[in-house]
Amino acid sequence: MASDGKKKRAREEEDVKQVKEKKVKKERKEKKEKKEKKERKEKKEKKAKVPKEQAAPLTTATQAVVGDAQLAKTAKAIVKDLYKEHKRVAAQSAAEVRAAYERLGLTVENSDARPVEEFALAGFDADVLKSCATFKQPSPIQAISWPVLLGGRDLVGIAATGSGKTLAFGLPMIQHIRAQKAAGVVKGKRPASLTLSPTRELAMQIAEVLDGAGRPCGMSVLCVYGGVPKVPQQKSLRSGIDILVGTPGRLRDLIEDGSADLGQVTYLVLDEADRMLDLGFKPEIEAICSNVRADRQTAMFSATWPMQIQQLANDFLARPAKAVVGSQDLAASHSVKQIVEVIDPSDRPQRLLALLETYHGKKGRKNRVMVFVLYKKEASRVEQFLNSKGWKAAAVHGDASQAERTRAVESFKSGSVPLLIATDVAARGLDIPDVEVVLNYSFPLTIEDYVHRIGRTGRAGKSGVSHTFFSGQTDKPRAGELVNVLREAGMEVPSDLLKFGTHVKKKESKLYGAHFKEVDMTKKATKVTFDSDDDD
């Protein structure tokens, strides 16, 4: 009995000990969290007290833009000019440069950079160029982006989807990070570069390309996006990365919870900037960029050049060079044969089956075909309809979970499911090779989305076909814009489409009506601060 009593007392003492230990651990944790919270508050207050004169332009070369000006003043200077022009490129005369611009379909402003039309002339380290081994020559946007970005300049690139933009900014990014590490500008585990993109799919694809290019150079890449748990992303950030890719919403969350520290980012990319604005991400972009050094190097890419994109460039980039491939006005890829069919909506299901037989069935049902619809429920309905008729189809849309969307895209990429039905959430950024045909089952709400949809085919120098259903009942207001796009690309305009007229209503700003103006990219940007954003 006495022995049992001793055992009981021992257990009780052990229980008390464990309770005390848990209490001590809890107190330590609370103390640590309180300290970290206090430090964040002090840092924020210190930032808020920075006099306005400190937000003035940093130098004549790098004016103050949206960003952390104080950090730019106190941190080690960024090594920007990394470009060593090859003697063959430098030897080009002004007439030869103009001829190259014309040959590549380039219009360049605020820069006298000579395009590089061979990989060996670009000025990259050998291991940085490994990802280009399967390509014959740089694409037009790469040919002009590389000398501009390696030279340390900010850049606005206007180019159609599928033009090689990721490597256009990705290879200079890797070379840039390498230089910052060598100079001691970037140290430790925090990211050195940041790329923002509008959608999860595009972010994942960018990260995949950058990982392929960066891995041979010892660069680590992390992609962060919503729709999945944050914990694995937080752990990866703590472990340390070089290149961060993400969507604005999730990245802002990670900044606010203290997981993402962008204080060492020296190279910033805003990809598909027009789409990010379309999706309402301007506040997130502003909040994110205010956490990045104001003297960073910034590249912005867009498929179009509307007034709001011009203003975005004016606020976030320092006197950038501007490179346009083709037309800065809305234009479809000339490598895509566009067919428009005016049709009654009720006839679409059977007509879709007939077109699939033509474009897909006669090719052994192995070639990739994308079918675009307007609404999420419509995507599910068309997917079920096609599968019930014996076709192999998958759908990707906003109501699908991230796992479902990833599975659908991967099965389409592999060819196991050669038909992909998609809403416009997937129209931007999906870079899937060898998509032969795009079928627009329902016409999009904007002509911009039409251009981006059909840009899924005819990529990487290949040709493609788009076949579009157009209904006078619902799509008539966009007839004039569609006619203009077809004519610009030299495509046949069906007489049934012309019956709806060719008038194009001028797009208006919700605030300023039709009084748009061009933004002078050579003028000094207006300084914008967001000291109180975290309190909103």
* Euclidean distance between CA atoms 327 and 500, whole angstroms: 26
The token duo for 151 is 């030279």
Q: According to the model, what pLDDT value does residue 360 have? A: 94
- The whole-number average pLDDT for the span 260-274 is 95
Do the bridges between strand 106-109 and strand 321-325 make them parallel or antiparallel, or are there none, so unpaired? antiparallel
Q: Binning pLDDT at 50, 70 and 90, where does residue 33 land? A: low
- What average pLDDT is seen over the chain? 84
Q: With CA atoms as reference, report the closest residue to 283 among 254, 314, 246, 252.
A: 252
Sheet containing 464-470, strands listed edge to edge, beginning at the edge strand earlier in sequence = 336-342, 464-470, 435-440, 368-372, 419-422, 393-396
Show me where the domains of the chain are located: 69-326, 336-498
Q: According to the model, what pLDDT value does residue 3 have? A: 62
Please write the tens of the pLDDT for every residue from 301-315: 987 788 888 999 999
Residue 149 has pLDDT above 60, yes or no: yes
Q: With CA atoms as reference, report the closest residue to 132 among 217, 213, 216.
A: 213
- The whole-number average pLDDT for the span 61-77 is 77
- The whole-number average pLDDT for the span 245-255 is 96
Q: Binning pLDDT at 50, 70 and 90, where does residue 46 land? A: very low
Angle between helices 140-150 and 94-104 (to 10 degrees): 130
Q: According to the model, what pLDDT value does residue 118 have? A: 95
Residue 430 has pLDDT above 90, yes or no: no
- The whole-number average pLDDT for the span 365-379 is 92
Look at domain 69-326 and name its CATH class. Answer: alpha beta
* Euclidean distance between CA atoms 361 and 353, whole angstroms: 10
Q: CB count, 10 Å around CB of 354?
A: 10
For 372, half-sphere exposure in the C-beta direction (CA atoms, 13 angstrom radius) is: 29
* Euclidean distance between CA atoms 41 and 429, whole angstroms: 38
Q: According to the model, what pLDDT value does residue 531 have? A: 39
Q: CB count, 10 Å around CB of 187?
A: 11
Q: With CA atoms as reference, report the closest residue to 274 among 251, 303, 314, 245.
A: 303
Residue 2 has pLDDT above 60, yes or no: no
Q: Classify residue 184 as left (phi > 0), alpha (psi -120 to 50) or beta.
A: left
Q: Range with the lowest mean pLDDT among 30-39, 246-255, 402-411, 434-443?
A: 30-39
- The whole-number average pLDDT for the span 115-133 is 93
Q: Which CATH superfamily is domain 336-498 in?
A: P-loop containing nucleotide triphosphate hydrolases (3.40.50.300)
Are the C-beta atoms of residues 257 and 209 closer than 8 Å to each other? no
- The whole-number average pLDDT for the span 75-81 is 94
For 20, half-sphere exposure in the C-beta direction (CA atoms, 13 angstrom radius) is: 6
Please write the tens of the pLDDT for every residue from 479-534: 999 999 999 888 999 999 999 987 665 544 332 233 334 445 445 444 333 333 33
First to last CA, the chain: 66
Q: Binning pLDDT at 50, 70 and 90, where does residue 459 land? A: confident
Q: According to the model, what pLDDT value does residue 287 have? A: 94
Q: With CA atoms as reference, report the closest residue to 529 among 50, 41, 192, 75.
A: 50
In angstroms and rounded to an integer, the radius of gyration of the C-alpha atoms of the chain is 27
Q: Judge whether 69-326 and 336-498 match in fold.
A: yes
Q: Binning pLDDT at 50, 70 and 90, where does residue 214 land? A: very high
Q: For 293, which DSSP code?
A: B
Identify which has the larger pLDDT, 354 or 527: 354
Please write the tens of the pLDDT for every residue from 150-167: 999 999 999 876 788 999
Please write the tens of the pLDDT for every residue from 414-426: 999 999 999 886 6
Helix residue ranges per DSSP H, 184-319: 200-214, 231-239, 248-256, 273-278, 282-289, 307-316
- The whole-number average pLDDT for the span 124-128 is 94
Q: With CA atoms as reference, report the closest residue to 246 among 187, 205, 278, 297.
A: 205
Q: CB count, 10 Å around CB of 348?
A: 18
Q: According to the model, what pLDDT value does residue 159 have? A: 84
